[in-house]
């Protein structure tokens, strides 16, 4: 099995070819950090234009790298949402054109399913069901993953996502864009006990998240002029981790038959977050799996892999060429709305 994956939902343009043996045969990724940095965040219009310019030559390049022709592919998988709609449309429409021209099946992939299944690309021993912490720029959820396409959401955020909290903290502290890696680096020089910060939702009987209050407390601490930037970064990171661990403890109670704790999404690249989760898993007698950092942040290998997983389903059928790009696309459509939660 050989699948081409295309990713364009945020600010990474990416293409990859993955095979059924979990080999990433070729991959290219172009980050738009330089274009968005002057604005301190991703500008949707700039992102869409950059995807439109870069994607076609990038697909050509990965096919050449892999020495593969379009007709050798078993599917073309592209992110069809959720994400910034202009960028998603660039990737999806490109995939449709390639599929049409080569008569290869199209697989419209949910970007979140790409993140959710990425640990199975990284580790073939990971079996269903597993408990998943999905922490990215736009999402912060705890899910039970029963199979490909079968997700039950146990928790979500009532305001900001965890990656968003890292990004806003970086902005407040003047650490630049993208924020997550910058906060992680700065935190290494600081004292995580130096700044008293709140742990929103900790102690609540339901496992939901909230990070808006933590971000406001970071702003107040910084404006007070009493603390070093590194100490605020370290204290913020520790407070965020404490929240995640407390929320997971509640959620894991409802998933006692899951033998593995899995983390995915951009924030899963954070070494302190990974270490805390590993410790929690050990306490619960669970195995812990985190993909390598490069598979945590946005990439096309996880989209190709989600395509491979979909191809392997008993009832697989290719997606139609008129399928729409979706700005919103929950993994668990039956999840109850949570007060204040957008996702």
Contacting Mg ion within 267-286 (CB under 5 A): none
Per DSSP, which regions of the chain are E strands? Answer: 2-7, 12-19, 24-31, 75-81, 106-110, 130-135, 140-147, 150-155, 260-264, 287-289
Compute the C-alpha angle 94/97/101, nearest 5°.
145
Residues 187-226 that bind ligand ATP (CB under 6 A): none
- Classify burial at 320, counting beta carbons within 10 Å of its beta carbon; exposed 0-12, middle 13-18, buried 19 or more: exposed
Binding mask 243-282 for ligand ATP (x = CB under 6 A): ----------------------xxx-xx------------
**How many residues line the site for ligand ATP (CB under 6 A)?**
25
* Closest distance of CB 294 from ligand ATP, Å: 10
Work out what residue 77 binds among Fe ion, Mg ion, ligand ATP, none; the CB cut-off runs from 5 to 8 Å by kind.
none
Q: Is 87 in the site for ligand ATP (CB under 6 A)?
A: no
Cis ω for the linkage preceding 82 (within 30 of 0): yes
CA dist., res. 90 & res. 254, Å (int): 40
Q: Which of residues 140-179 bind ligand ATP (CB under 6 A)?
A: 163-164, 166-167, 178-179
Interatomic CA distance for residues 24 and 300, integer angstroms:
10
Gap between the Cα atoms of 223 and 175, Å rounded: 15
CB of 126 to Mg ion, least distance (A): 25
Give the nearest distance from C-beta 164 to Fe ion in angstroms. 12
- Residue 11 binds Fe ion (CB under 5 A): no
Site for Mg ion in 10-69 (CB under 5 A): 11-12
Considering the rule CB under 5 A, would residue 319 count as an interface residue with Mg ion?
Answer: no
The tally of CA atoms less than 13 A away on the side-chain side of residue 318 is 16
Tell me what percent of the chain is helix, strand and coil, each rounded to the nearest 5: 45, 20, 35
> Applying CB under 6 A, which of residues 113, 159, 184, 309 lies at the interface with ligand ATP?
184
Tokens of 207: 């496992």
Q: Which member of 94, 118, 238, 297 binds ligand ATP (CB under 6 A)?
A: 297
Nearer to ligand ATP, 59 or 241 (CB): 241
Angle, CA 216 vertex, CA 211 and CA 217 arms, to 5°: 95
The structure tokens 């997550």 sit at: 180
Q: Which two tokens stand for residue 308?
A: 């491979």
111 forms part of the interface with ligand ATP (CB under 6 A): yes
Is 298 one of the binding residues for Fe ion (CB under 5 A)?
yes
Nearest distance in Å: CB 299, Fe ion? 9
Check residue 137 for interaction with ligand ATP (CB under 6 A).
yes
Does 298 bind ligand ATP (CB under 6 A)? Our answer is yes
Q: Is 324 annotated for ligand binding?
A: no
Q: Does the footprint of ligand ATP cover residue 10 (CB under 6 A)?
A: yes
Flag whether 136 is marked binding: yes
Cα–Cα distance, 2 to 22 (Å, whole number): 10
Q: Residues 96, 80: contact at Cβ < 8 Å?
A: no
Q: Please report whether residue 164 would count as binding Mg ion according to CB under 5 A.
A: no
- In the window 322-341, what residues touch ligand ATP (CB under 6 A)? none
Please give the torsion angle defined by the CA atoms of residues 172, 177, 182 and 184, in that order, rounded to the nearest 10 degrees.
80
Site residues for Fe ion per CB under 5 A: 136, 298
Site residues for ligand ATP per CB under 6 A: 9-10, 83, 111, 115, 136-139, 163-164, 166-167, 178-181, 184, 265-267, 269-270, 297-298
């Amino acid at each position: 099995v050989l699948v081409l994956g295309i990713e364009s939902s945020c600010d990474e343009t990416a293409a990859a070819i993955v095979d059924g043996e979990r080999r990433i045969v070729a991959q290219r990724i172009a980050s738009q950090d330089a274009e968005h940095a002057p604005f301190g965040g991703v500008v949707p219009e700039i992102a869409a234009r950059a995807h439109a310019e870069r994607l076609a030559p990038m697909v050509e390049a990965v096919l050449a790298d892999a020495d593969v022709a379009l007709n050798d592919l078993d599917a073309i998988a592209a992110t069809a949402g959720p994400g910034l709609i202009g960028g998603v449309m660039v990737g999806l429409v490109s995939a449709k054109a390639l599929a049409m021209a080569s008569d290869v099946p199209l697989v419209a992939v949910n970007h979140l399913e790409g993140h959710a299944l990425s640990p199975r690309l990284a580790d073939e021993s990971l079996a269903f069901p597993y408990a998943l912490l999905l922490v990215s720029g736009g999402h912060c959820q705890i899910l039970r993953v029963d199979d490909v396409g079968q997700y039950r959401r146990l928790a979500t955020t009532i305001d900001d996502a965890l990656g968003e909290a890292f990004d806003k903290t970086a902005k407040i502290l003047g650490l630049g864009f993208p924020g997550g890696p910058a906060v992680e680096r700065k935190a290494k020089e600081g004292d995580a006990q130096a700044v008293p910060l709140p742990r929103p939702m900790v102690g609540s009987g339901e496992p939901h998240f909230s990070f808006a209050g933590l971000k406001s407390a970071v702003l107040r601490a910084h404006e007070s002029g009493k603390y070093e930037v590194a100490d605020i970064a370290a204290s913020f990171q520790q407070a965020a981790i404490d929240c995640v661990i407390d929320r997971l403890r509640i959620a894991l109670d409802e998933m006692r038959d899951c033998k593995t704790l899995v983390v995915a999404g951009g924030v899963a690249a954070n070494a302190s977050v990974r270490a805390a989760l590993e410790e929690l898993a050990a306490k619960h007698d669970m195995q812990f799996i985190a993909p390598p950092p490069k598979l945590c942040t946005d990439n096309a290998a996880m989209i190709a892999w989600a395509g491979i997983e979909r191809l392997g389903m008993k009832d697989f059928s290719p997606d139609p060429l008129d399928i729409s790009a979706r700005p919103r696309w929950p993994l668990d459509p039956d999840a109850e709305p949570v007060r204040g939660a957008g996702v």
